[in-house]
Structure 1
C-alpha cells in the first residue's frame, strides 16, 4: 500500500515497489494486491461514519452503508493478507492524512480488535508488515521520529506484532546523501527478502 501524495513518483512508493518486486521474485506464487491512497482516497472520519459502523444495517443511511462497506473491504484486504507492505512518507513530522484515514477505517471494535479485562486484543494476528519509511530529514532513533512508534503501536493494536521498518532518510539533504540513503535502503530490502 502506498500513501505518498506523489503516487508512483514518491520515494516511499518506489521503495515499496522495489520491495514487492523482489518479494515476488523470491516468492513467485504470491498473490499481490496494491492499494494507492493517493488514487483511491479514503474519507476522513466524521460522526456520521463512526455512528454508522455500529448501526444495524437496516437503520443506516445511504452514506453510512457506503462507508461501512468501504471499511469492510479495507479490513478484508488486511485479513486476507499474510504480508503488508506500506510506503510511508513523512509530511510535516507526521503520517500522511490518507494513511491515518486508512487506520481509522480498519480500526473497528469487535472486528479488528476487542476490549477485554486485560486490555485491548488485536484480531488480525499472524501477519508480517514491512514499512518503507522515506523522509527528507534524518529522524530515526530521535525524539522527532513521530512515525515509528505510532505505526508500530497501531499495527500491534489490531494484532500485527511482526513489523520491520526500512528507512531512507535525508532525501532532501543533497544528492549524495539521498543516493546513499536509497542505496542503503535497497540493501536492507535485499536482506529482508533473501
Structure 2
C-alpha cells in the first residue's frame, strides 16, 4: 500500500491537523505491514503557486515538478491530508497542491456528460482542525467542502473526515476535540 501524507499547517509542532494526520498514518502503517509513505510538508517546502507560465508549460522545471506531484497522487492508494482551517478555508500552499493535481487528461477528463475523475480507487482521509466550531454543513466552511469536491472531481469518492473543532476555545474543548478525533482514528 502506498500512502501520500500531506501536511499544510504553518504551526509546526503546535499543529492539531499535523497531530491528527500523523496519527492516521501511524494507524495505517500499523495495520498494513510494508506500507510505503511519501510525505509532503507544504509549509516547509511549498509548491509554487500556479502561474500562466506553469499552466501553459513554459517553465520546464515547474512542469517536471507538476508531473511528479500528479504521479505521487495517482500512485497513492491512500491520501492523508492535514488541513487546518485558515479564515474559513485552506492554507494557500494546500491550494497550490490542488491546482497542480487538478489537470485535465491526467486526474480528470471532460466528456459530453460532464467531467469524469481519473484518480479513483483510493481512500482519502482529511485531518481537519478548526479553531472555532463550524459543523459539517457550515456555510462558512470552504475547507472540508473544497477538499471533498476536489477529491470527488478527480474520482476519489471514498473520503473520510476526521475533525477537531473548537481547538482555540479553551484547553478543555481542545482536549475533548482531540480525544474524539483520536478515537475516530483508532477505528480506522
| Distance in 1 of aligned mates of 2:12 and 2:117 | 30
| Distance in 2 of aligned mates of 1:25 and 1:123 | 29
The 5-angstrom pairing of residues 64-103 of structure 1 reads: 64-103=59-98
1:7 Cα deviation (Å)?
2.8
1:19 Cα deviation (Å)?
1.0
Which deviates the most, 142-151 or 34-43?
A: 142-151
| Secondary structure of the corresponding residue to residue 131 of structure 1 | strand
| Distance in 1 of aligned mates of 2:24 and 2:106 | 29
Are 1:7 and 1:36, in contact at CA under 8 Å, matched by a contact in 2? no
After TM superposition, what 4+ stretches of structure 1 lie above 3 angstroms from structure 2? Answer: none
Cα deviation, 1:59-112, whole Å, max 9, x if unaligned, reads x4xxx1111111100111111110000001000111100000000011111111
| Distance in 1 of aligned mates of 2:107 and 2:142 | 24
Higher strand share: 2
Higher helix share: 1
1:32 Cα deviation (Å)?
1.1
| Secondary structure of the corresponding residue to residue 41 of structure 2 | coil
1:130 Cα deviation (Å)?
0.3
Are 1:87 and 1:132, in contact at CA under 8 Å, matched by a contact in 2? yes
The 5-angstrom pairing of residues 1-194 of structure 1 reads: 1-52=6-57, 60=58, 64-141=59-136, 142-191=138-187, 193=188
Cα deviation, 1:20-62, whole Å, max 9, x if unaligned, reads 112111112211111110111011111111111xxxxxxx4xx
1:116 Cα deviation (Å)?
0.3
Q: Which has the larger radius of gyration?
A: 1
- Please report the TM-score for the alignment, with normalisation by the length of structure 2: 0.94
Instruction: Give the count of matched residue pairs.
Output: 182
| Distance in 2 of aligned mates of 1:20 and 1:85 | 7
Task: Specify every segment of 5 or more residues in structure 2 that has no aligned partner in the other structure, as ranges.
Answer: 1-5
Over the aligned positions, Cα root-mean-square deviation in angstroms equals 1.0
| Secondary structure of the corresponding residue to residue 173 of structure 2 | helix
